[in-house]
Amino acid sequence: MTRIFSGIKPTGHLTLGNHLGAVRQWVDVDQHKSDAVFCVVDLHALTVEHDPARVRRLSRQAATLLLAAGLDPALCTLFVQSHVDEHTRLSYLLECTASDGEMRRMIQYKEKSARERATGGSVRLSLLTYPVLMAADILAYSADEVPVGDDQAQHVELTRDLAVRFNQRYGHTFTVPKAVLPSVAARVMDLQDPTSKMGKSHAETGGIVYLLDEPDVVRRKIMRAVTDSGSEVVYDRETRPGVTNLLEILAACVGGAPAELAEGYSSYGALKRDTADAVLELLRPVRERHTELCADPGYVDAVLRAGAERARALARPTVDAAYAAIGLMPPA
Ligand code: TRP
């Protein structure tokens, strides 16, 4: 069976963008048809300034929301990255496989480090090595496929390069994975800035629908979404990014093609109302289940404990093989 691995970083509250762009595909498709491993990648949240209590809280919340959204521990493996030592063990060996130049060429590193420096901050070394840790996440599990957004495609490319290089130098050790863009997912854009992705780490939150926003807040954010000049409802990402984003969200919630849904509307107001209704309907069961799970923290702990054990058992033999292959003396 195809092994897939994906991770979600606890740097902010999960958004409608995470849900429609990734999580829903994990729940509806991936966990049923693949041997799926999903990870709350908390170590990756430490690569920029962070608040320890917040990272701890968001990690737990992300795991709880993934369960609330429908990940089923009987069908997939769900765990927290820092609970399984194999990730950092393998990351070091991959640092000895990657070159300094190839790390500095990573687009996300260039953008994020420039932003950090522009605001007078210092750049953590882990921001540079982050893609190597991500490669370790993937290679430790011998994943065949990595469902990610296109902003992560370059990191999966790097992962492939490192796997091939390691295998050539030290003998076959790693499965060479490939990135898969989710097939049924929507690319949800910021409601206030429909040319940029609805990301969880943005400072401006008016254009971002969080899964745990109160229903009246969700409705207000969607009703205030920026639309485009003109007034007909047409589906065209280039000239009508705002309306197109609403149509994509509506289509992701109720099914159907966004361009066809457009034909049913003659005003922006009606489109916004229907989109808000559809999003609220989609999120209601997730919020309800989240509340139930929060009332039963022992259950979430038990799921994560069992998930970490299973993950460790999957990763350990591969990481041990890499230690041996690269020339480290095995313990007696
Ligand atoms: N870098 C990914 C992101 O920012 C998160 C991530 C970390 C990940 N490790 C991974 C995704 C391994 C897929 C596989 O979204």
Q: What are phi and psi of 297, to 5 degrees?
A: -60, -25
Question: From the candidates 9, 200, 221, 272, which is the catalytic residue?
Answer: 200
Q: Is 9 a catalytic residue?
A: no
Using pLDDT thresholds of 50, 70 and 90, give the confidence band for residue 150: confident
Q: Is 221 a catalytic residue?
A: no
Give the distance (Å) from ligand 1 centre to CA of residue 289: 25
- Residue ranges and CATH numbers for the domains of the chain are 3-181+296-326 (3.40.50.620), 215-292 (1.10.240.10)
- Contact (CB, 8 A) for 6 and 146: yes
Residue 229: what pLDDT? 85
Mean per-residue pLDDT, 260-268: 94
- The helix or strand, by DSSP H or E, that contains position 78, with its residue range, turns out to be strand 77-80
10 Å CB burial of residue 169 (0-12, 13-18, 19+) is: exposed
**Residue % of the chain over a pLDDT of 90:** 90
Which residues neighbour 70 within 8 Å (Cβ) at sequence distance 6 or greater?
Answer: 27, 28
188 vs 325: CA distance, rounded Å: 43
Q: 22 is written with which tokens?
A: 């990734």
User: Which atom of ligand 1 sits closest to the CA of residue 8?
Assistant: 5
What tens digit of pLDDT does each residue of 45-104 get?
999 999 999 999 999 999 999 999 999 999 999 999 999 999 999 999 999 999 999 999
- Using DSSP, state whether 209 is helix, strand or coil: coil
β-strands 77-80, 35-40: how paired? parallel
What tens digit of pLDDT does each residue of 203-223 get?
788 999 999 999 999 999 999
Cβ atoms within 10 Å, residue 288: 11
Instruction: Give which of 151, 150, 142 is closest to 177, Cα–Cα.
Output: 142
* Ligand 1 pocket at CB < 6 A: 5-7, 9, 41, 44, 134, 137-138, 146, 148, 152, 155
Strand order in the sheet with 3-8: 77-80, 35-40, 3-8, 145-147, 178-180
Mean per-residue pLDDT, 119-132: 95
Q: What are phi and psi of 4, to 5 degrees?
A: -120, 150
Is 0.75 topped by the overall pTM? yes
Q: Is 200 a catalytic residue?
A: yes
Ligand 1 test: best mutation among 82, 134, 178, most atoms within 8 Å of CB? Answer: 134
